[in-house]
């Protein structure tokens, strides 16, 4: 495919919790080399959309395709094997394993088994120093977030889904995260970032979708979309 052709496409996604409509006809495209952000108030449906893409929630209607293949019915682990990686809002690392062992597990769960991937990923996330041999338990949140990201990246994902990746990070850690995500996009990964931190989104995203009440209500480049929200992001 050409660089701009979408890799992951969602069409007319509807999702319900009991009688409540959480997604009401959402379309979304994720393309290689692009960082797509989804923002919106609490309860807008951002995480629900995320779960439909990751395979942890089956939409009531609509389709999710990867490279043209309909994956709507595939569970999360099958999507991981196809190259769709995700992080968790609650950290998901194995506390008793070391940093390097956590990353090795991720490499085994992913799309490619490449011996160099673990070392490359540890380096990319700045985890190749002495910290690599420490058990994950007890490491600071910022470090654990990097371990979690390294774990999913070691599997060589084509699509990376991130729900609130900046949660709990300090300013320096957010800046470091932004650099890593930009490097991944430059390498051809298709990224989705669901994020509260509009300053991060303003500096990071190629395109922003604003959700409200289960729908995408505005889309465009961050400068235009975030200014229209009147949030002051990008000030």
Of 2, 3, 17, 77, which one interacts with ligand ADP (CB under 6 A)? 17
What is the spatial distance between Cα 50 and Cα 68, in angstroms, rounded to a whole number?
19
Of 47, 80, 121, 143, which one interacts with ligand ADP (CB under 6 A)? 47
> Interface with Mg ion includes 47 (CB under 5 A)?
yes
What is the spatial distance between Cα 24 and Cα 27, in angstroms, rounded to a whole number?
10
Of 6, 7, 31, 45, which one interacts with ligand ADP (CB under 6 A)? 45
Write down the least CB distance from residue 47 to Mg ion, Å: 3
Write down the least CB distance from residue 131 to ligand ADP, Å: 31
Are β-strands 69-70 and 61-66 bridged in parallel, bridged antiparallel, or unpaired?
Answer: antiparallel
Nearer to Mg ion, 47 or 87 (CB): 47
Of 22, 52, 107, 185, which one interacts with ligand ADP (CB under 6 A)? 22
> Interface with Mg ion includes 80 (CB under 5 A)?
no
* Rounded alpha-carbon distances, angstroms, from residue 122 to 75, 99, 153, 227: 28, 9, 10, 37
Burial track 49-58 (b if 16+ CB lie within 10 A, e otherwise): bbbbbbbebe
What is the spatial distance between Cα 229 and Cα 123, in angstroms, rounded to a whole number?
38
Nearer to ligand ADP, 21 or 109 (CB): 21
Nearer to ligand ADP, 45 or 59 (CB): 45
What is the spatial distance between Cα 127 and Cα 139, in angstroms, rounded to a whole number?
12
Give the residues lining the site for Mg ion (CB under 5 A): 46-47
Residues that bind ligand ADP (CB under 6 A): 17, 20, 22, 40, 42-48
């Amino acid at each position: 495919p050409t660089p701009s052709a979408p890799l992951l496409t969602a069409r007319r996604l509807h999702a319900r919790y009991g009688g409540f409509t959480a997604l009401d006809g959402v379309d979304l495209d994720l393309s290689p080399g692009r960082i797509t952000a989804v923002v919106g108030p609490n309860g807008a449906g951002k995480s629900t959309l995320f779960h439909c893409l990751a395979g942890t929630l089956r939409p009531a209607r609509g389709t999710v395709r990867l490279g043209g293949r309909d994956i709507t019915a595939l569970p999360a682990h099958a999507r991981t094997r196809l190259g769709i990686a995700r992080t968790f809002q609650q950290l998901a690392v194995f506390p008793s394993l070391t940093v390097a062992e956590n990353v090795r597990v991720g490499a085994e769960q992913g799309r490619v088994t490449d011996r160099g991937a673990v070392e490359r990923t540890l380096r990319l996330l700045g985890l190749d120093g002495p910290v690599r041999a420490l058990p994950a338990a007890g490491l600071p949140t910022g470090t654990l977030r990097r371990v979690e990201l390294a774990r999913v990246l070691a599997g060589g994902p084509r699509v990376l889904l991130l729900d609130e990746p900046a949660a709990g990070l300090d300013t320096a850690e957010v800046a470091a995260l932004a650099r890593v995500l930009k490097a991944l996009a430059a390498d051809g990964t298709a990224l989705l970032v669901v994020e509260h931190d509009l300053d991060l989104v303003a500096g990071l995203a190629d395109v922003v979708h604003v959700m409200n009440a289960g729908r995408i209500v505005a889309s465009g480049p961050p400068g235009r979309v975030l200014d229209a929200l009147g949030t002051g992001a990008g000030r």
